Structure 1
Amino acid sequence: MECIVVISRYCPNLWDGELRATKDGLTIRALPSSHPATILSTLLRSRKPYQWPTNPKKKKLKKKKRKKQSSREEHWRATDMASATLIPAASKLILSSSSTTRSFPRLSPFSNVSLPGRHRSVLFAAKRAAGDGGNRSSAACAAVGTAASEVETKRKSSFELQTLTTWLLKQEQAGGIDAELTIVLSSISMACKQIASLVQRAGISNLTGVQGAVNVQGEDQKKLDVVSNEVFSNCLRSSGRTGIIASEEEDVPVAVEESYSGNYIVVFDPLDGSSNIDAAVSTGSIFGIYSPNDECLADIGDDETLGQVEQKCVVNVCQPGNNLLAAGYCMYSSSVIFVLTVGKGVYVFTLDPMYGEFVLTQEDVKIPPAGKIYAFNEGNYLLWDDKLRAYMDSLKDPGPNGKPYSARYIGSLVGDFHRTLLYGGIYGYPRDKKSKNGKLRLLYECAPMSFIVEQAGGKGSDGYQRILDIEPQEIHQRVPLFIGSVEEVEKLEKFLA
């Protein structure tokens, strides 16, 4: 087995982008060059020396004019006076070049460089060629072909997909989560797939419009609100690992009698931004998972009534966000995005419609420390207090750089938050004269989103304290929310102080 290595003079990093091909027992590994594909095909086909193209019209340029060479001239300059000679002996290649040693920034005349292999048996020694007056260099490669095949390629295959299920199993094997939590998260992902399908077919299936009832918050329930709540609840019940579920659409938390292990507490908003459904604008589902608590059981004894059991459930569900084990959201937009954290970074999965699986697309997402985008419902500007209005006016002031903040507001917490997570900035829904405590719910909207943003390096606040430090007094408690980049949230807190 033979090893052939091709080196480009102007490769910015000598070892990036490695290629490897095998044919008839011949292993060829090529580092980036001007014509790597051509070199490989030529050597595989004929195993004869490959001559780089030369520019017969090339003229010597003065030093001052070299900077003004066109990109084509740069190409010729990088490839013209070089040739490769294949040695018949196995596992050996001699690379000759008329360029000086300075052309190889990573190969000095007396340095040794080894490729990262298990046995480190591929060794390059750069040395001056005899008889060239020190102005030319050659690199001799001596290698064992079998070792070359063990060197990992740095280029990731486009077919290497890691699904959400695989990722959860890896987290379980690493001790990050237990088997019961894995099942709960898998059930939630299944619910999100079903809701995504319902959202996409809402207009066709006559799921748009108002159901004709109101939820516990006094809001008109959309048809899809009701269906999404049933889907989410059924998936969590059937998991067999959920003890209590609390939904935006339910008056009180529900103790799941079917649970035989785990008893996790799951809080969720099955369809955030449902007012956008009829206009086909981004919507989403939000969820948070708390640790199991044996004090809240569904079994009703002789001395207990259903009301007492519900009371226990309420007490156990009302936990501060600091107690969250996992949180996430699923955004239904041009693509279906599932964002998840289990307390160790934020990961983004995208639903692949071909396979019907969530595929990992972004790892350990970090929110920018600052951003020039704000998302507030400025229609309520006159209802805000003076301090908040002063803050908003400061964002519109061009300032020294002459550029004010950009306003972006979708009307869906999930959509606005996801943009803020990726681009930085701040999202806010403050209290006003009409909504004294704000509009967003602490337990299943503000706390999960704040948990996610803090895992990404951001901050969630009510204007005066961390959202995760607030202990809910009731299931549907509302709080103001300011969430996003650390610098932007802290700037707002200074105005409100």
Structure 2
Amino acid sequence: MAEISVIEHIHSMQLKWSPTATGQFTSLLHDLILSAKIISRSVTKAGLVDILGGTGNINIQGEQVQKLDDFANSVMIYRMKNCGVVCALGSEEEEELVIIDNAGERGNYVIFFDPLDGSSNIEANVSIGTIFSIYRVDDNTALTKENILRKGSEQVAAGYFLYGPSTMLVYSTGHGVYGFTLDPSVGEFLLSHENIKIPETGKYYSVNAANYDKWAKEDQRAVDMFTHGGYSLRYVGSLVADFHRTLLYGGIYSYPADMKNKNGKLRLLYEANPLSFLMEQAGGLAVNGQGNRILETMPEHVHMRTPFIFGSVREVEKYRSAFG
């Protein structure tokens, strides 16, 4: 089998689906990949250099900022600002949107990202990741919050980098889901998972059962169906790791609203939208606490949260049935 790099794959997909492409997206992806390589290098050295532990700061989410969080955020912002094709960006670590003006010239892409998802697991050497979501805007579109914040169904691409036993890129441009594994010997992400499809049903369910008493009765009833229905519990607590396992093996993941997080805990723009885009492209489902499609949710603000349930069609429909 030919060893196809991610850039070669993007080029072939553009020839097939977007023959008039300008090359801006390829440029954006190139800088995303470079960012991930730099972050991956630091993640693998985290126990050897002074990059573990917290900075002592609290981010906009009210969470302790880890040193690697801060590093990954700085890398992503620098690369996205200087790649020349991004006109606005949003980071989970930043309070407001960042509008980019490169000497009067602007790119046509908006990107949202979680620079280092699962960072609370860093010191336990658990798989963590970078999640990204990309939208396209026209040259004459004013860069206002109203024009930038759009439904997830309008994404032109989404994906994540997984930093684990190997570093992977999983992405979609709306024509299937593809996985690439970083080969350190050549420094390239090579195609390793072609046209990923989630199984229609699975044997695993993933949920933080410690919050059970804080959920609504409907969510308790839904999870009970899996707990007592022959499913095995698998929960890492690192969203990218839990998503990746569910994508490959099937089953269901649920993070419902609870008494403390009445609107849910996971972020719509930085986590739920990009992962829902991938899940649907792979043939699965992704819904909110009312059982509605995540990708049809109109964001109210840049750090909006949502309940998040995704996985194989059969399991998500089973979860929905608990709501009557």
With the shorter chain as reference, the TM-score category is: over 0.9
Separation (CA, whole Å) in 2 of partners of 1:357 and 1:294: 32
Task: Return the offset for 1:262.
Answer: 2.8
| Maintained 8 Å contact 1:243/1:256 | yes
Separation (CA, whole Å) in 1 of partners of 2:24 and 2:317: 38
1:77-476 equivalences under 5 Å are 156=1, 160-176=2-18, 178-258=22-102, 260-294=105-139, 312-398=143-229, 404-463=230-289, 464-476=291-303
| Maintained 8 Å contact 1:383/1:433 | yes
Q: Which segments of structure 1 move beyond 6 Å, counting only runs of 4 or more? A: none
Report how many residues are paired. Answer: 320
Separation (CA, whole Å) in 1 of partners of 2:132 and 2:189: 17
Separation (CA, whole Å) in 1 of partners of 2:294 and 2:264: 13
CA pair 262-172 structure 1, distance change in 2 beyond 3 A: farther
Separation (CA, whole Å) in 2 of partners of 1:423 and 1:202: 29
Separation (CA, whole Å) in 2 of partners of 1:459 and 1:313: 31
CA pair 263-474 structure 1, distance change in 2 beyond 3 A: same
Match of 1:496 in 2: 323
Which amino acid in structure 1 is aligned with residue 35 of structure 2? A
Task: Return the offset for 1:203.
Answer: 1.6
Separation (CA, whole Å) in 2 of partners of 1:222 and 1:316: 32
Separation (CA, whole Å) in 2 of partners of 1:198 and 1:416: 22
Give the alignment's TM-score, normalised by structure 1. Answer: 0.63
Task: Return the offset for 1:178.
Answer: 4.1
Separation (CA, whole Å) in 2 of partners of 1:325 and 1:465: 21
Separation (CA, whole Å) in 2 of partners of 1:296 and 1:268: 22
Separation (CA, whole Å) in 2 of partners of 1:287 and 1:411: 19
**Which structure has the bigger radius of gyration?**
1
Q: Provide, for residues 408-446 of structure 1, a one-character-per-residue CA deviation record: whole Å limited to 9, x for no partner.
A: 111111000000000000111100011101100001110
Separation (CA, whole Å) in 2 of partners of 1:416 and 1:496: 24
CA pair 171-178 structure 1, distance change in 2 beyond 3 A: farther
Task: Return the offset for 1:270.
Answer: 0.4
Q: Provide, for residues 165-215 of structure 1, a one-character-per-residue CA deviation record: whole Å limited to 9, x for no partner.
A: 111122233343541111111111111111111111112121111111111
Separation (CA, whole Å) in 1 of partners of 2:117 and 2:306: 16
Give the alignment's TM-score, normalised by structure 2. Answer: 0.95
| Maintained 8 Å contact 2:85/2:106 | yes
CA pair 405-473 structure 1, distance change in 2 beyond 3 A: same
Separation (CA, whole Å) in 2 of partners of 1:313 and 1:231: 25
Name the SS for the 1:167 alignment partner: helix
Name the SS for the 1:205 alignment partner: coil
- 246-255 vs 383-392, greater mean Cα deviation: 383-392
Separation (CA, whole Å) in 2 of partners of 1:496 and 1:373: 21
Please tell me the root mean square deviation across aligned C-alpha atoms, in Å: 1.4
Which amino acid in structure 2 is aligned with residue 443 of structure 1? L
**Which structure ranks higher in relative contact order (CA pairs < 8 Å, sequence separation ≥ 6)?**
2
Which amino acid in structure 2 is aligned with residue 368 of structure 1? P
Percent identity reads 43
Separation (CA, whole Å) in 1 of partners of 2:299 and 2:190: 35
| Maintained 8 Å contact 1:317/1:475 | no
Q: Provide, for residues 82-138 of structure 1, a one-character-per-residue CA deviation record: whole Å limited to 9, x for no partner.
A: xxxxxxxxxxxxxxxxxxxxxxxxxxxxxxxxxxxxxxxxxxxxxxxxxxxxxxxxx
| Maintained 8 Å contact 1:371/1:425 | yes
Separation (CA, whole Å) in 1 of partners of 2:237 and 2:140: 39
Which amino acid in structure 1 is aligned with residue 304 of structure 2? Q
**Stretches of structure 1 lacking an aligned partner (at least 5 in a row):** 1-155, 298-311, 399-403
Separation (CA, whole Å) in 2 of partners of 1:459 and 1:267: 22
Which amino acid in structure 2 is aligned with residue 395 of structure 1? F
| Maintained 8 Å contact 2:223/2:319 | no
